[in-house]
Amino acid sequence: MKAAIVVFPGSNRENDAKAALTQAMGSEPVMVWHRDTTLPKVDLVLVPGGFSYGDYLRCGAIAANSPVLREVKARAEAGMAVIGVCNGFQIITEAGLLPGVLLRNANLKFVCRNVGLRVETSNSRFTSGYKKGQVLSIPVAHHDGNYFADARTLDELEAEDRIAFRYCGPEGRLDANYNPNGSTRHIAGILNKKRNVLGLMPHPENAIEPLHGSTDGKALFQSLVEAVS
């Protein structure tokens, strides 16, 4: 598998993403600058976390209009895999690759800790390495991770099995006490209609080594390699 990581002014997780992909693929991904107008021939583009353009306007709104995102969007529409993590989720949602919006956390505070994450579907190239209902421990680090969409969109996501992850308690129970940002229906990650685009707020790239306190993010990257290879 060949992969690329898009880097913006203010990105801060691109090297973490690079380490996770290198470990899974056995080769390094290509780093692509936000002003580039073309992408190399790759199977996956990862849009990393951070604070692109200082999070001015809405988080991800400026980055969504950068030159390289036009190419990412075109490739995604042609079937290439795209994953947006944290600020990357905000960016690809602002770009129209996924429905809904990411609002300010319900408690109006930045949250940074490991959270429980329940796998809602294993039917995607991103989640095939997990079992449906499996509970993961993955870190979050965001101020604007409160996923919101209208009822019709939410019902469509449910009906089409496009909710990838939900925030949960240790035993997988959905409870407001374990929802770190107030996200609607406890949603932590979603898929597009073609199931080749994933956006999620938690950071799987920061859960791949025992020293991270969890290796639960490792299977996501391995799933991608196995799906594409």
Which of 34, 142, 186, 203 is labelled catalytic?
Answer: 203
Amino acid at residue number 100: G
86 a catalytic residue:
yes
203 a catalytic residue:
yes
158 a catalytic residue:
no
Which of 59, 120, 205, 212 is labelled catalytic?
Answer: 205
CA distances from 221 to 1, 85, 129 (A): 11, 13, 9
The DSSP code sequence of 168-183 is: E-TTS---GGG-SS--
Please tell me the distance from the alpha carbon of residue 139 to that of residue 165, in angstroms, as a whole number. 13
Which of 14, 86, 168, 186 is labelled catalytic?
Answer: 86
- Residue 223 in 3-state DSSP? helix
Task: Name the CA dihedral angle for 102, 108, 113, 115, rounded to a multiple of 10 degrees.
Answer: -60
Residues classed as catalytic: 86, 203, 205
